[in-house]
Structure 1
Amino acid sequence: MEHITHPFSELFEQLGLDASHEGIAHFLSAHRLPPEVELVDAPFWSKSQSNFLKEGLQNDSDWAEIIDQLNSSLR
């Protein structure tokens, strides 16, 4: 089975966020998560965004790796 990796821009598109280089950089600089807050519980996600992230991680989907990278980038 082929392993698919998605770039940040595709993840941001899936989340309905600005997927441009500038948009991603702005989002990452404007949002920070303390260690005790799970990524999927961040206050800045809508319910559907949170569900997408949660399902991607729980199902170990092809999105899981880039979702983990997003989590790291927000710390």
Structure 2
Amino acid sequence: MKQPQRHFHQLFEQLGLANDAAGINKFILQHTPLSAEIRLADAPFWNAAQSAFLHEALLQDADWAVLVDQLSLAFRAEQIA
């Protein structure tokens, strides 16, 4: 059975955040760069439910995991130069 394909804006919706392009960009810019020593789910800007969702998505290698990894990279993009 094929898993549903998720989209980046759906991850933001799942996290209870603005999920339009402007809202996503604004959120990422507000919290970038995230130190490489901090796991995404442990970042101080998440509430408890958001943090738990991100931890679970990665722990269970859920269909959200790829998007969570992409989000993590987006917060660290400025450090990759």
TM-score (normalizing by structure 2): 0.88
Report matched runs for 1:4-23 at 5 Å: 4-23=4-23
Aligned to 2:46: 45
1:25-63 Cα deviation digits (max 9, x unpaired): 101111121110110100000000000000000000000
Name the count of aligned residue pairs. 75
Q: CA RMSD in A?
A: 0.8
Q: Matched residues in 2 for 1:24 and 1:9: separation? A: 8
Structure 2 gap segments, 5+ residues each: 77-81
Number of the residue aligned with 2:36: 35
Structure 1, unaligned runs of 5 or more: none
Which has the larger helix fraction? 2
- Asked if the contact 1:53–1:67 (Cα under 8 Å) also holds between the matched residues in 2, the reply is yes
Partner of 2:79: none
Point out the structure with max Rg over C-alpha: 2
